[in-house]
Structure 1
Amino acid sequence: MRSDTPPIDVVSAMPGIAWPALPAGPGAALLALLFQLQGTQWWPAERIARAQRRQLAALLAHARAQVPFYASRLPAALPDPDDAEAFEAAWRAIPVLTRDEIQAADASEAMLADHLPPGHGEFREVFTSGSTGRPVRAVRSQVWELVWSAFTLRDHLWHRRDLTGRMAVIRESGHGKAAYPEGDSQQGWGFSSAGLFESGRLVSLNVTTPPDLQAEWLARQDPDYLLSHPTILLALAAQAPRPARLRQVICIAETLRPAARTAIQAAWGVPVVDIYSTREAGYLALQCPDHPGHHHIQSEGVRVEVLRDDGAPCAPGETGRVLVTPLHNLAMPLVRYDIGDAAEVGPPCPCGRGLPVITRILGRRQNMLRLPGGGRRWPLLSSGDLAGLVAAVPGLRQYRIVQTALEALRVEVVAPAPLTEGEVAATAAWARAKFGEGFAVSVRHLADLPRSAAGKAEDFVCEVPEDA
């Protein structure tokens, strides 16, 4: 552990023993995982891959025997995990799992295991946010949740967070307890550290709270750490002064664009840390603590494949579709699941960790810009692009660009006052300069950006049908 890592106090569960602490069973298992993760992150890439193949073999043997959906879908046996070339060839022959297949199989419970091995605990049900309009049911085991907690704590340790500080969270809340003005408050940062580590207060607010009330609540809470969606954090940084004690901002749920990262850091002067995860698959990649432009795939918990159109793995610098296989969820295995995202593969990280690298997370593939003459491209905004939009819309707090037709864009902006004719014209000119003169551009002023049921907002949405 680095010398600048904040002290972490383990809570003892043994009567009469205060220090060094002796945790109870689940806490001891979590500490055992953390101890291993502290070492495996520094393994050479091939050693990590070989260990991952062993776990994949165990996962597939269980899925083939216990999950009806996989009974005839998976090979009868996989090559020896130590034979990398043969194993990988057999692995790539397994069909890609789609969202449609999960929804169809789930209706008949065919995706669920008939039995779990001893010690894996109960089944736990969650639903994805349905950002595509098609939510997916996911079922996990208690062992999977234990592993999830270990990666939560790894992220805290990597980014040297003081667990005794105050964590503020603005995100989805399904119980109404996090409603303005007070929100919700509890001692401890959640079940991933509860009962094991001493941690400070967690305060939370529902993501549907209007932006001006979010800013007022944030100033009142004055947290050490703030976790929310990038679009919410960008809006807060644009309109609210930095909370006095704020040390770090943590982004979840949406794609963090480089321009948004730059704007938040410039406004508040604190580091911005990004987390790449999904509800059904858990943690996919965590931002490197030493090189913020790199995200390390969490290979001890999930296999992440980034593939070209021909199905071959992408090389560093190439962009492809993302497939995921959680390694430890034997309740509802997801084998080579296409989550609909695209990402760019990176080279080995100078930090020395052997975990694979993603350099850019581009988000949902269906939200690429469709070009009138055919083809697609990613509608990414640079910090210079964002500065141009801010110049066109004084006081800009949020924005979204919607491609409504092959040759039509709508720019939606959240600003303190309705736009003047000059500002509308400047915004339309900015969009045509950025995306192409062939687009017809309309501009709409909004009080707030529309969000999904899970509180997500996207900075670019393509509404053009696939067959257009």
Structure 2
Amino acid sequence: MDRSSPPLDVVSAVPGIAWPALPGPTGAALLALLFQFEQTQWWPAERLRLAQRRQLSALLAHARENAPYWRGRLPRDWPAPAEEPAWEAVWQSLPILRREDIQAAEASEAMLAGSLPPGHGDYREIYTSGSTGRPVRAVRSELWELVWSAFTLRDHLWHRRDLTGTLAAIRESGAGKASYPDGDVAEGWGVSSAALFETGRLVSLNVTTPVAQQLEWLVRQDPDYLLSHPSILARLAAAAREAGVRLPRLRQVIAISETLRPEVRTAIEAAWGVPVVDVYSSREAGYLALQCPDHPHFHIQSEGLRVEVVDEAGRPCAAGETGRVLVTPLHNLAMPLIRYDIGDAAEVGPPCPCGRGLPVLTRILGRRQNMLRLPGGERRWPLLSSNDIGALLAAAPPVRQHQVIQAALDRLVVRLAVARPLTAEEQVAVAAWARAKFGAGFAVTVETMPELPRTAAGKFEDFVCEVPGA
């Protein structure tokens, strides 16, 4: 660990022993994982791949014997993990698992393992947020949740967070929970750290709270760290800048759940003068990639899952290429997900100058279903640059938030949250902006409202494609 990192106070579970601390079984297991993570992050890529193949071989054997869905889909005879070309050839011949495959299998419980090996604990059922419009039921083991906690701690340690500080979280909450004006307060940052480290307060507020109230609540809490969705963080940063409000103790902002665009990162950092750290994860698979401690790109968390980025033909993408993301959690033997297409696209990066052997993703582009579809069948990413957003604000200065909906192959709806009603001239200018950005052949409708809607999980996407079959 870097000597510049904040001190960590380990929780002792043994009566009469305060220091050096002796953690309980869960804390000891987390320490064992973190000790190994400290070593494995520096392994060369070849050694990481070999270790992954060893664990994947165990996962595949378990899935074939215990999960009915996989029984007829996985070959019984695999090359040894050390035989890389032969092993990888068999691996890449496996079919890609789609979201609809999981949903179809749910009725018969076919994807669930009938039993778990000793030490894996009980089954844990969760549901995805359904940002694709099709929620998925997933089942995890207690052991998988332990590994998830270790990656949470790795993220804290990589980014040198002072765990004794106050962490403020604005995110989805249960009905009636974390409501304004008080929100929720917990003594500790959550289950991931509770078994191992002494931590400060966790204060939380529901993501549906209006932005003005969010900002007022934040000022009262005066946190050291702020965690939320990029769209929430961007609006908070803009509101803080307009009101001349500072958060004097704030050290770092953590972005979760949505794609963090470069211009959004820049705006947040400019407003608050602190770095933004991005996290790439999914509820089904856990942490996919964490931002490098030294660079803005991501390191795939190879100790926890295999991530593949493949082109439309299923071939692995090289550095600089963009493809669809397939994930295989290594330790979830409760419901094995093998080569699962999570619906995202990402860009592969070259090895990181930091020296870590963990593979690199340069960019997370978001949901492939939300690519712009053109009448000729072509698809492209509808990314908005800072110049694009500047042009929108020049066309309509009252705009506070924007969203573009592709309602049909030839029709766009531009939804705007505005500080005042737009003039007729501004509405015409917004429509012209949309056609200049996305294509002259689109019919454009402009809709305004005080606040743009979010998904049931509190997420927000600035471009949504509603064309059937997208």
Task: Using the TM superposition, give the Cα deviation of residue 395 of structure 1 relative to its aligned residue in structure 2, in angstroms.
Answer: 4.7
Q: Is the 8 A contact 2:26 2:195 kept in 1?
A: no
The TM-score, its normalising length taken from structure 2, stands at 0.97
Query: Is 2:92 the counterpart of 1:89?
Result: no
Aligned residue in 1 for 2:129 = 129
Distance 1:456 1:403 in 2: 18
Aligned residue in 2 for 1:271:
275
**In the alignment, residue 74 of structure 1 is paired with which amino acid?**
L
**1:259–1:386 contact (8 Å) kept in structure 2:** no
In the alignment, is the contact (CA less than 8 A) between 1:343 and 1:363 conserved in 2? Answer: yes
Match of 1:21?
A: 21
Of 369, 372, 379, which residue of structure 2 is paired with 1:369? 372
Per-residue CA deviations over 1:133-160 (Å, capped at 9, x if unaligned) read 1100111111000000000000011111
Q: 2:286 aligns with which of 275, 282, 288?
A: 282
Number of the residue aligned with 2:205: 205
Aligned to 1:30: 30
- 1:34-433 to 2 correspondences below 5 Å: 34-240=34-240, 241-292=245-296, 294-433=297-436
Unaligned stretches of 5+ residues in structure 1: none
What's 2:466 paired with? 463
Contact 1:126 1:137 (8 Å CA) reproduced: yes
Q: Does the Cα contact within 8 Å between 1:62 and 1:330 map onto a contact in 2? A: yes
Displacement after TM superposition at 1:176 (Å):
2.2
CA 1:412–1:242 in 2, change beyond 3 Å: closer, same or farther? farther
Deviation, 1:175, is: 4.3
Q: Distance in 1 between matches of 2:421 and 2:175?
A: 34
Amino acid at match of 1:61: A
Distance 1:163 1:418 in 2: 45
CA shift digits 1:295-339 (9 cap, x unpaired): 100000010010011111000011111110000000111011111
Secondary structure of 1:280's counterpart equals coil
Contact 2:169/2:203 (<8 A) preserved: yes
Q: Which amino acid aligns with 2:95?
A: P
For 1:263, give the aligned amino acid. Answer: A
Give the whole-Å Cα distance in 2 for the aligned partners of 1:52 and 1:125.
Answer: 26
Secondary structure in structure 2 of the residue aligned to 1:219: helix
- Rounded Cα–Cα distance in structure 1 between residues aligned with 2:133 and 2:409: 21
RMSD: 1.2
Q: 1:408 deviation in Å?
A: 1.7
**Partner letter of residue 208 of structure 2?**
T
Q: Is the CA contact (8 Å cut-off) linking 1:234 and 1:397 kept in structure 2?
A: no
Q: Answer yes or no: is 1:453 the counterpart of 2:456.
A: yes
Q: Which amino acid aligns with 2:307?
A: V
1:176-205 Cα deviation digits (max 9, x unpaired): 221111111100000000131010000111
> What TM-score comes out, normalization by structure 1 length?
0.97
**Range moving further from structure 2, 214-223 or 308-317:** 214-223
- SS where residue 231 of structure 1 aligns? helix
Inter-partner Cα distance in structure 2 for 1:340 and 1:89:
24
How far apart, CA to CA, are the structure 1 residues paired with 2:219 and 2:395?
A: 29
Alpha-carbon distance in 2 for matches of 1:316, 1:270: 30
The letter for the 1-side match of 2:176 is: G
Classify the secondary structure of the residue corresponding to 1:305.
Answer: strand
Cα deviation 1:218-251 (Å, max 9, x = unaligned): 1221111111111111111111234221111111
Identity value in percent: 72
CA contact (8 A) 1:239 1:397 kept: no
Q: Give structure 1 regions of 4+ aligned residues with deviation exceeding 6 angstroms.
A: none
Which digits, 9 at most, give the CA deviation of each residue in 1:1-52, with x for residues without a partner? Answer: 1122111110111111111111011100000000100110010011001100
> Is residue 304–residue 324 contact of structure 1 (8 Å, CA) maintained in 2?
yes
SS state at 2:194 partner: coil
- 1:238 and 1:396 in contact (8 A); partners too: no
How many Å separate the matches in 2 of 1:277 and 1:367?
18
Residue 442 of structure 1 pairs with residue 442 of structure 2: no
SS at match of 1:193: helix
Q: Which amino acid aligns with 1:251?
A: A
Question: In structure 2, how many angstroms separate the alpha carbons of the residues matched to 1:78 and 1:252?
Answer: 38
Aligned length, in residue pairs: 466
Give the partner amino acid of 1:278.
S
